[in-house]
Amino acid sequence: MLLDISKAFKFLGQEFEFSGIQTLDSQNIYGETIKVEPVNIVGCFLSTDKEILLHGNLKTILHGECARCLKDVNLSMNINFSEVFVKESDVIDKDNEDYFYYQGHKIDLEEMVRVLIISSIPMKFVCNNSFCDTNLFENSNNKPKKENPFNVLHELFKNDEEV
């Protein structure tokens, strides 16, 4: 989503409302593929002398797999944000991750949305099913036991024989 900030330069310090939808491709996060529904963004922006300040809220739903039972899990995200954008030509320290960059009179919100979602995702998706752990353990008990190759040695020591 491109945000037109040209009117903020004319009226420094005045807040302007914005809203829109940002789409993101599926994300590979912590080794899992997470599908992201379109993100609804609502907020305000204003311009100071050298920065654009954005604050607002974004909402989306993420789709992944439960880390315990591998069933599909939907996770609703509701994230409040307050971010700073600096004109790329004014930046001295390009490694500073405290703010985002913009060029011209438009801000691309895709990177900000991606960072906010990734930093808010739990390490593992877990479904709310109370039987999730129970089913996992029940299935593991039904598996045939693997024969231990050292059982023969174990039998020798049971009889207290010298080897």
Look at residue 138 and tell me whether its pLDDT is greater than 50: no
Residue 54 lies in a domain: yes
- Give the domain extent around 46: 2-135
Q: Mean pLDDT throughout 67-79?
A: 90
Residue 158 lies in a domain: no
Structure confidence at residue 162 (pLDDT):
58
Classified as helix, coil or strand, 142 is: coil
Q: Mean pLDDT throughout 34-50?
A: 93
Residue position matching structure tokens 């059982």:
151
Number of domains comprising the chain: 1
What percentage of the chain has pLDDT greater than the value 90?
Answer: 44
Residue 157 lies in a domain: no
- Condensed to tens digits (0 to 9), the pLDDT of residues 121-137 reads 888 888 876 666 544 44
pTM attached to this predicted model: 0.74
Q: What angle do CA 13, 16, 21 make, to 5 degrees?
A: 140
Q: How many C-beta atoms lie closer than 10 Å to residue 61's C-beta?
A: 13
